Structure 1
Amino acid sequence: MKNNYAIFPGSFDPITLGHISIIHNSLKIFPTIIVAIGVNNNKNNMYSLTKRKELIESVFQNEQRILIKEYQILTVDFCKKNNANHIIRGVRNTQDFKYERDIALANEELDSNIKTIFIPAKKEHIFISSTIVREIITHKGDLTSFLHPQTINQIT
């Protein structure tokens, strides 16, 4: 029997206030969230997998209901391996929703027992993306509206 775990997959390069908000909202629905750091060899990451994991761990160091794991397999296979039956996806706008919906449908085709839950971003986080954050980091801009203070301390 599956448990009530949900996974929140992503590259988290780096983890943003938007990601953190989605995780906190997910904890209102599920007793445990697995933050699943995916490895995509086609992406040029700013931070190593180890560093990304450290950044996430530092933000959630006092939260027992959040597990942080890495994976390099299909997301549905990661769900099965971890007895999770839900995938959490944050959506900021209609473009995000269309993209995520297509992935959710593909995942459902691979395993109809694993369902995707869409959680809308808070209005104050709609403009935040890791891509934008990496650009701000590169140009040494102010990160306070984008990243958790703990994350800022670790990367600056």
Structure 2
Amino acid sequence: MRIAVYPGSFDPLTNGHIDVVERAVKLFDLLIVAISRNASKKPLFTVAERLDILDQVLRPFNNVQVDSFEGLTVNYAKSKNAQAIIRGLRAVSDFENEFMMALINKKLTPDIETIFLTTRAEFAFISSSAVKEAAFFGGCVQELVPQYVMDKLFQKYHEIKAAGQEGW
């Protein structure tokens, strides 16, 4: 069975992420979309909330599983018997960092490949950070994220503002 892991923070899941998923599922028998828990980042959504979002939005894909992990991506991929790690590239600026990570991963675990999928041009400008900022200030993010994600974003920001907290 050909297995790949598509790791990320997915905070939140965007149409750019979904574009990568749509293409990766055609290449592998199983695609594990996995939330990387990073203690140094302060996410907007909890891991449980992000797992719910991934589960709801990616449910139509029969060969997708959602999960979360801590630690090195290559160790997680190895524990899942994956042959590849999927990474999405939006622009040339993404490539340098992703290339360096791919080299490190290859050194750590030579039998796992990193596969880069460039996002379609209409999604190249979308980032989770930009989506969060636009949503926080009431901007329309309808073409950037699925409806379920948009609803969750506005619900979360309503809660934050009602509690008198700042930012995200």
Normalised-by-shorter TM-score class: over 0.9
Moved over 3 A (4+): none
| Structure 2 counterpart of 1:87, from 82, 85, 88 | 85
Give the Å deviation of 1:152.
Answer: 1.5
Residue 77 of structure 1 deviates from its aligned partner by: 0.5
Aligned residues: 154
Distance 1:109 1:22 in 2: 25
Deviation, 1:62, is 2.8
Once the two structures are TM-superposed, the CA of residue 126 in structure 1 deviates from its matched residue by 0.3
Instruction: Write out per-residue CA displacement over residues 96-140 of structure 1, whole angstroms, 9 at most, x where no aligned residue.
Output: 011100000000000110100000010000000011111112112
Can you list the C-alpha shifts for 1:10-44, whole angstroms capped at 9, x where unaligned?
00000000000000010121121000100001111
Residue in structure 2 matched with residue 134 of structure 1 by the alignment = 132
Q: Which residue of 2 aligns with 1:96?
A: 94
1:61 equivalent in alignment to 2:59: yes
- Helix, strand or coil for the counterpart of 2:44? coil
* TM-score normalised by length of structure 2: 0.89
- The aligned residue for residue 50 of structure 1 is 48
Structure 2 matches for 1:6-155, cutoff 5 A? 6-155=4-153
Segments of 5+ residues of structure 2 without an aligned counterpart are 155-168
Contact 2:132 2:153 in 1 (8 A): no
**The structure with more radius of gyration:** 2
The one of the two structures with greater contact order (alpha-carbon pairs below 8 A, sep at least 6) is 1
* Contact 1:85–1:114, Cα closer than 8 Å, also in 2: yes
